């Protein structure tokens, strides 16, 4: 399994980086790595930092198919984000 194949949900990645989930989502949106629907931009998916999974489920009341996209952070992406966030925090401490 390559380093790109290992992925983590945002919540797990936030724990690995050492920040809260809401903080990580805010950071990712602020830096334009994800959109307002929390889906990673294609550029960063292609670079191997994120993976976007498409899924669907059946609504129990209407029986209509509902579609969604879920963003995961790759092993490489966690390391990359950890460096970016620690660099930002180091600047704020100065």
pLDDT digits (tens, 9 = 90+) for 43-84: 999 999 999 999 999 999 999 999 999 999 999 999 999 999
pLDDT digits (tens, 9 = 90+) for 22-50: 999 999 999 999 999 999 999 999 999 99
Q: Is residue 89 very low, low, confident or very high in pLDDT (cuts 50, 70, 90)? A: low
Cβ atoms 11, 72 nearer than 8 A: no
Question: What residues have CB less than 8 Å from 82, skipping those under 6 apart?
Answer: 16, 17, 18
Dihedrals phi, psi of 46, to nearest 5 degrees: -65, -30
Q: Is residue 87 very low, low, confident or very high in pLDDT (cuts 50, 70, 90)? A: confident
CA distances from 6 to 24, 26, 28, 57, 79 (A): 19, 23, 19, 24, 12
Q: Is residue 86 very low, low, confident or very high in pLDDT (cuts 50, 70, 90)? A: confident
């Amino acid at each position: 399994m390559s380093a790109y194949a290992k992925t983590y949900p945002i919540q797990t990645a936030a724990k690995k980086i050492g920040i809260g989930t809401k903080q990580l989502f805010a950071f990712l949106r602020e830096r334009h790595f994800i959109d307002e629907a929390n889906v990673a931009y294609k550029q960063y998916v292609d670079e191997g930092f994120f993976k976007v999974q498409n899924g669907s489920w059946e609504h129990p009341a209407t029986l209509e198919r509902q579609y969604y996209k879920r963003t995961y952070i790759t092993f490489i992406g966690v390391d990359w984000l950890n460096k970016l966030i620690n660099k930002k925090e180091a600047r704020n401490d100065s």
